[in-house]
A and B are shown apart, each in its own frame.
Chain A
Amino acid sequence: MPAAPRRLAAPAIAAVALLALAGCSAGDDPAASPEAGGTLVYATGDAEPSCLDPHVGGNYPQALIAGQYLESLVSLDESREVIPWLATAWTTSDDGLTWDFTLRDDVVFTDGTPFDATAVKANVEHLQDPETQSSTGYLAVGKVASVEVVSPTLARFHLTAPDSALLESLAQPWTAMESPAGIERGMDENCQSPVGTGPFVVDEWVPQDHVSLVRNDDYHGGPADRGRDGAAYLDGIEWRFIPDSASRYAALQAGEVDVIDNAQPDTLAQAEQSGALVEIDAPRPGASNRLELNAGQAPFDDVRVREAFIRAVEVDDGIDSLFFGTAERSHSVLSSVEPTAYSDASLFETSLEEANALLDEAGWTARDADGVRTKDGARLTVRFPVSTNQSIPAEQSLFEQVQATAKEAGFDVQIELLDLSSWYGALFAHEYELVSAPYTKIGPDVLRILYHSDSITPAPSGYFANLAQLSNPELDALLTEAASTSDAQQRAALYEQAQQLILGGFYALPLYDQQNHFLHSTKLSGMRALPTVSTPWFADASLSD
């Protein structure tokens, strides 16, 4: 999942913190089994997808809703171990080039098409077909040469190179399984109502308003950690699009909706005080939210200037006050939910004196009338395009604080608030020295996407993921080796070395995990966020009165 705009696109986790779940009033019987029935109203602050099939494009808003009607081959449990879902078992050959997936034999898509190896093959081919216009899923199955139908319940993946991230890739909603018959209807129709095997079915999509999902009465199974079988309790879900965060929270308070996502820090603090709402904190997997320093051009091509910037910028107090204690400072480029995340706080200790000394050493000795350092007549300017679709207000305020503290060391940080198209335009034209671009993906392979020098070469669209423009052959070798190393321990060690190189080179200033907070009313119980990419799971949720 490329740069994942908060409202427009992508990341997975485990830390499901259920606060204050004991909301039953005296009249209720908390011991009773969840009542069946009722329609849940879910209000999302993410953008409305332009296609409900997450194979097409592939962004986070699609993942959020697709998790209700599509299922993947595998899932992750709370400890981020891969667990069965539609596939019950898998084996890999010694050379890592062949994977056998044993499939469940009792699953039928909601249009009646049986789920079997032929369907798996059709899905992978759909992702790889340029007509599908897939980005995220396309990259995820990039090393899959073909899928062989050995038997209805055995799908054999042939790879072009060993891929230690294959299972993680297949656990993502962007590679979820859809009915081949549904796919054959063509993109227009499949975008309107993709057909899956999940607990709910797409019933109707009223653009800019809502998507109606109804219960799949025949649903059974689910990810192996589900703990129960059978169809959902809820009759359905009304999936509403409420882009304004204040309105979304007000709608939850007023009881118009039962769950909201993208809850803002100040409202989380309020909700915690009131006790009338329940929070689920599910940071997204993949990369953390971090500022990338563009090492591809001056002034950040000089490691001393990068280090000086990181020494100068104070963010801890700002994160505390702006996020009201709901976000924890990160010192890793990976999300804290990733077991392979490597963190080193000592690299990020701030010191204005050190920053000044480093800049002096790097030749930025003079200061102009505004207090901005200069060198050979050039100002120490740092252009910082910020996507207003992607950065919440609290984050934008934090960036202003970055601007203010960097100024003390003589940096002129120029924040530019841009809409998404203009923001990408600035990146593609390399008109930036600093940028925040979240990226959601399961597993540490995200490091390869973000920091391998291959990712500096732009796609035809101009898109490139290595925004730090980090080009280091040693790092490339580590990341390539890790991607084909199946031994977990060895793999983790390689990723640790890689992260040490990234952090030690001062290419990024980690801020916090990609924030992903849900708030729901106490009427709702049994909701959780799937550990895969932290999307909500409602098959075991129920509403009380």
Chain B
Amino acid sequence: MSRPSRPLRTIVLRLAGAAFVLWAVATLTFFAIHLVPGDPAQAILGGPGSQASQEALDRVRSEYGLDQPLVAQYGAMLGRLVTGDLGTSYSLKTSVADVVGAQIAGTLLLAVLALALAWVIAVGLALWSSAPGRVARAVSGGIELTAAALPHFWLATVLIAVFATGLGWLPPVSNGAASGLVLPVVTLAIPLAGFLAQLMREHLLVALEQPFATSALARGETAVGVRLRHALRHAAIPAVHLSGWAIGYLISGAVVVETIFARPGLGRTLLRATELRDVPMVMGVVLVVALVYVVITVVTDVVAALVDPRLRTAGTAR
């Protein structure tokens, strides 16, 4: 804290950075999708295989501004975005903002619950694997790597076969009730928990070798106590920083998980919009996901700064 203006400057830079990220994501997506073969007017007129007449195509092109030069379309899109207008979906003919607004809650709920569960599992695994003894470390290490290597679609199928079809404990597809959330959340959480546990354990082991851990032990605290009260806190910081990334990862996973468990959500919306070349819809979902990522990153940076005093003096640019 050499200068008092520093926090303010940091915040301004951070926000400017966030705005840049959103702009860049919108721009990249816009031009990438326009490189994709396929006529957006077709997408509007019933998707591939439609037999729309030339008049219908021409009318749609002018209605949606598709006859304008690409740069003009890009400008128009940016102009709309600034006012918060995500445009009109080609395939659903409704406001993208409405669709995204209706779908985002389900996906975020899924992602947040999965993140929480992954944390619980990861902390458990990390504590176990940091216990003395080679066996615990080897076994838990194997579990972590295996968990991290499970594709969502495979895990989902096995969980449905065992817990829904076999044991009959849980519904195999979303049913609006809380019980329908269990399997999708577990499916998403397990591979993530594998990642998080690997990360936490590394940091936990380091923390345990730090002087504060040694002195706590010397003060007569139990090994478990030291882990829970001191070391875990240090091990958790890097994982907190991952929250933004983890949510993005979970939303990626949601594409598969929402399809298998028949849950409404952004993942399914995105997959369908991509298949149908529904440009405004793809753009809307991507921007909203990017926004979520940016917000979470900023918040976790702040939280981590509060948890970890060292950060306040560390450089801000990364």
Q: Is B213 an interface residue (CB 8 A)?
A: no
Selected contact of B261 from candidates A47, A207, A247, A422, CB within 8 Å: A247
Q: Is the CB of B171 within 8 A of A251?
A: yes
Q: Is B172 an interface residue (CB 8 A)?
A: yes
Q: Is the CB of B173 within 8 A of A251?
A: yes
In the complex, A244→B164 CA distance in Å?
15
Q: Is B300 an interface residue (CB 8 A)?
A: no
- In chain B, positions 21-71 with a C-beta closer than 8 Å to chain A are 37-39, 42-43, 45-57, 59
- In chain B, positions 163-188 with a C-beta closer than 8 Å to chain A are 164-165, 168, 171-175
CB distance from A437 to the nearest CB of B (A): 9
| CB closest residue in chain B, given A9 | B49
Selected contact of A461 from candidates B50, B165, B175, B277, CB within 8 Å: B50
Q: Is B276 an interface residue (CB 8 A)?
A: yes
CB distance from B117 to the nearest CB of A (A): 21
In the complex, A191→B175 CA distance in Å?
25
With A251-B172, A421-B276, A425-B37 already in contact, the answer to whether A460 and B57 are too (CB < 8 A) is: yes
With A50-B91, A191-B93, A247-B173 already in contact, the answer to whether A3 and B49 are too (CB < 8 A) is: yes
Set of chain B residues within 8 Å of A425, measured between Cβ atoms: 37-38, 48
In the complex, A257→B175 CA distance in Å?
10
Q: Is B262 an interface residue (CB 8 A)?
A: yes
CB distance from B269 to the nearest CB of A (A): 7
Q: Is A19 an interface residue (CB 8 A)?
A: no
Q: Is the CB of B46 within 8 A of A56?
A: yes
CB distance from B198 to the nearest CB of A (A): 30
- In chain B, positions 264-318 with a C-beta closer than 8 Å to chain A are 264-265, 268-269, 272, 274-277
How many contacts between A and B, using CB within 8 angstroms? Answer: 139
Q: Is A187 an interface residue (CB 8 A)?
A: yes
Q: Is A28 an interface residue (CB 8 A)?
A: no
Mark B132-149 against chain A: 1 for CB-CB distance below 8 A, else 0. 000000000000000000
Set of chain A residues within 8 Å of B161, measured between Cβ atoms: 250
Q: Is A488 an interface residue (CB 8 A)?
A: no
With A191-B93, A250-B160, A461-B42 already in contact, the answer to whether A421 and B172 are too (CB < 8 A) is: no
In the complex, A486→B155 CA distance in Å?
58
Q: Is B243 an interface residue (CB 8 A)?
A: no
| CB closest residue in chain B, given A58 | B46
CB distance from B264 to the nearest CB of A (A): 4
In the complex, A101→B259 CA distance in Å?
46
Q: Is the CB of A50 within 8 A of B57?
A: no
Q: Is the CB of A242 within 8 A of B173?
A: yes
Q: Is A90 an interface residue (CB 8 A)?
A: no
| CB closest residue in chain B, given A50 | B91
Q: Is A469 an interface residue (CB 8 A)?
A: no
- In chain B, positions 252-266 with a C-beta closer than 8 Å to chain A are 259-262, 264-265
Set of chain B residues within 8 Å of A254, measured between Cβ atoms: 164-165, 168, 171-172
Q: Is the CB of B92 within 8 A of A247?
A: no
Q: Is B131 an interface residue (CB 8 A)?
A: no
CB distance from A44 to the nearest CB of B (A): 10
Selected contact of A421 from candidates B38, B55, B157, B259, CB within 8 Å: B38
Set of chain A residues within 8 Å of B48, measured between Cβ atoms: 420-421, 423-425
In the complex, A67→B93 CA distance in Å?
23
Selected contact of B259 from candidates A2, A50, A135, A243, CB within 8 Å: A243
In the complex, A423→B54 CA distance in Å?
22
With A208-B265, A246-B160, A460-B57 already in contact, the answer to whether A2 and B51 are too (CB < 8 A) is: yes
In the complex, A60→B38 CA distance in Å?
23
In the complex, A246→B154 CA distance in Å?
11
Set of chain A residues within 8 Å of B275, measured between Cβ atoms: 389, 419-421
Q: Is B102 an interface residue (CB 8 A)?
A: yes
Q: Is the CB of A461 within 8 A of B259?
A: no
Q: Is the CB of A188 within 8 A of B93?
A: yes
Q: Is A241 an interface residue (CB 8 A)?
A: yes
Q: Is B18 an interface residue (CB 8 A)?
A: no
Q: Is A463 an interface residue (CB 8 A)?
A: yes
In the complex, A187→B52 CA distance in Å?
16
Set of chain A residues within 8 Å of B173, measured between Cβ atoms: 43, 240, 242, 247-248, 250-251, 256-257
CB distance from A62 to the nearest CB of B (A): 10
Q: Is the CB of B172 within 8 A of A256?
A: yes
Q: Is the CB of B264 within 8 A of A209?
A: yes
| CB closest residue in chain B, given A191 | B93
Q: Is the CB of B56 within 8 A of A130?
A: yes
Q: Is the CB of A250 within 8 A of B51?
A: no
Q: Is A31 an interface residue (CB 8 A)?
A: no
Q: Is B99 an interface residue (CB 8 A)?
A: yes
- In chain B, positions 71-114 with a C-beta closer than 8 Å to chain A are 91-94, 99, 102-103
Q: Is A133 an interface residue (CB 8 A)?
A: yes
Set of chain B residues within 8 Å of A206, measured between Cβ atoms: 264
| CB closest residue in chain B, given A57 | B46
Q: Is A212 an interface residue (CB 8 A)?
A: no
Q: Is A459 an interface residue (CB 8 A)?
A: yes
Q: Is the CB of B91 within 8 A of A461?
A: no
Selected contact of A240 from candidates B47, B94, B262, B265, CB within 8 Å: B262
| CB closest residue in chain B, given A51 | B93
CB distance from B46 to the nearest CB of A (A): 4
Q: Is the CB of A243 within 8 A of B93?
A: no
Question: 26 pairs across A/B with beta carbons < 8 Å?
Answer: A3-B49, A43-B173, A50-B47, A50-B91, A130-B56, A139-B51, A187-B93, A208-B103, A208-B268, A244-B261, A247-B261, A248-B173, A251-B173, A251-B262, A253-B164, A254-B164, A257-B173, A420-B275, A421-B43, A421-B47, A421-B275, A425-B48, A460-B53, A460-B57, A461-B42, A461-B45
A-binding residues in B (CB < 8 A)? 37-39, 42-43, 45-57, 59, 91-94, 99, 102-103, 157, 160-161, 164-165, 168, 171-175, 259-262, 264-265, 268-269, 272, 274-277
A-B interface, 10 closest residue pairs, ranked by CB to CB distance from nearest: A250-B172, A208-B264, A57-B46, A424-B48, A242-B262, A460-B54, A135-B51, A459-B51, A251-B173, A209-B264
Contacts A207-B92, A248-B173, A460-B53 aside, 13 further interface pairs with beta carbons under 8 A come to A133-B45, A191-B93, A242-B262, A247-B173, A250-B161, A250-B164, A419-B275, A420-B276, A424-B48, A459-B51, A461-B45, A461-B57, A463-B51
